[in-house]
């Protein structure tokens, strides 16, 4: 009887040991599976990181030519289709009597440019942008184009000195018939800006009229006459146009080709890249609400 009881106790303890063992083994198996998945994920993400780093490296031109170095200095150059942010400003003015979202104070503008400079961006000229987009030429990895619409007089009094100080290039799209009017650039200022080598003067039409409301013939006149009159004023080719309010239609594009512009700018938000039609290049319009960090976000993160 006693022996029977002992055997039963022995059997019971063997069973409970067996259950413990099963529990431990299954726990180990579960841990093993989790560890396996974890390590695998780690390896994969590491591998992904390595490839993306490699592909980033591949994008930067390893041995820039002497011409490229001379043009852009010792900055990393790229020649892929990542595109360029073309920023659109209007008026930079502290006059409290005029209020509009497109008017940015001088101090604010200075902080925006400071952020662009501190982060190592190169400001491209119109010719450099055109060469990159349509002639397969390289540009700095960090490139931006600064443009100003309408040709306000403050572009001469307020913008020009700051650009000189920061050693930056920019483009002013002037409304040809507005030159010498109150608040707009004078013809002498336009000539001086153009010959400074810092500013490209380009067309914003003759009269700033809503192009899609006009006939093809009238649009053609706006595009052709502004180009010719500005060319004879500055004695340089006018290669680009910004459509008033960014508005255009098929006739505008037809006139654009007929007149022989190289680049046409809209106000549609996005980067200008090599997939864009040359008559429909995107820009990013900024206003007085843009802090330096918002400008940098536009330069780094904006997708098409
Ligand atoms: Zn305009």
pLDDT per position as a tens digit, 11-58: 666 666 766 766 766 766 666 665 665 555 555 444 444 444 444 445
Give the pLDDT confidence of 157-172 residue by residue, as tens digits.
999 999 999 999 999 9
Residue 164 CA to ligand 1 center (angstroms) comes to 24
Angle made by CA atoms 36, 42, 45, in degrees to the nearest 5: 140
Contacts of 118 (CB under 8 A, 6+ apart): none
Contact 55, 80 (CB under 8 A): no
Task: Give the pLDDT band (50/70/90) at residue 64.
Answer: confident
> Which residue, 1, 272, 286, is CA-closest to 115?
286
CA of 208 to the centre of ligand 1 (A): 6
Which contiguous run of DSSP H or E holds residue 161? helix 160-166
> CA 248, CA 25: separation in Å to the nearest integer?
72
Q: What is the Å distance from ligand 1's center to 136 Cα?
A: 30
Residue 173 Cα, ligand 1 centroid: separation in angstroms? Answer: 8
Q: Cα of 148 to ligand 1 centre, how many Å?
A: 9
105 Cα–ligand 1 center, Å: 19
Distance in angstroms (rounded) separating the CA atoms of residues 269 and 135: 23
């Amino acid at each position: 009887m006693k022996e029977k009881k002992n055997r039963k106790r022995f059997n019971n303890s063997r069973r409970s040991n067996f259950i413990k063992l099963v529990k431990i083994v299954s726990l180990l198996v579960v841990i093993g599976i989790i560890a396996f998945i974890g390590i695998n994920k780690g390896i994969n993400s590491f591998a992904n990181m390595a490839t993306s780093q490699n592909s980033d490296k591949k994008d930067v031109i390893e041995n820039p030519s002497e011409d490229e170095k001379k043009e852009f200095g010792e900055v990393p150059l790229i020649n892929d289709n990542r595109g360029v942010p073309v920023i659109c400003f209007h008026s930079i003015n502290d006059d409290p009597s005029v209020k509009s979202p497109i008017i940015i104070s001088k101090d604010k503008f200075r902080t925006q440019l400071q952020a662009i400079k501190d982060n190592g961006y190169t400001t491209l000229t119109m010719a450099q942008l055109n060469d990159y987009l349509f002639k397969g030429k390289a540009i700095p990895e960090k490139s931006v184009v600064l443009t100003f619409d309408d040709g306000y007089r403050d572009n001469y009094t307020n913008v020009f000195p700051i650009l000189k100080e920061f050693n930056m290039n920019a483009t002013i799209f002037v409304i040809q018939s507005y030159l010498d009017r109150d608040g707009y650039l004078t013809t002498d200022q336009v000539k001086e800006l153009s010959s400074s080598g810092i500013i490209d003067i380009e067309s914003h039409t003759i009269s700033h009229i809503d192009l899609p409301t006009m006939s093809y013939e009238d649009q053609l006149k706006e595009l052709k006459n502004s180009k010719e009159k500005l060319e004879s004023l500055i004695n340089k080719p006018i290669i680009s146009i910004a459509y008033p309010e960014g508005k255009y239609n098929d006739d505008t594009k037809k006139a654009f080709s007929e007149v022989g512009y190289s680049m046409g700018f809209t106000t549609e938000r996005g980067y200008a890249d090599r997939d864009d039609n040359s008559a429909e290049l995107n820009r990013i319009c900024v206003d007085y609400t843009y802090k330096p960090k918002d400008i940098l976000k536009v330069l780094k993160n904006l997708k098409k």
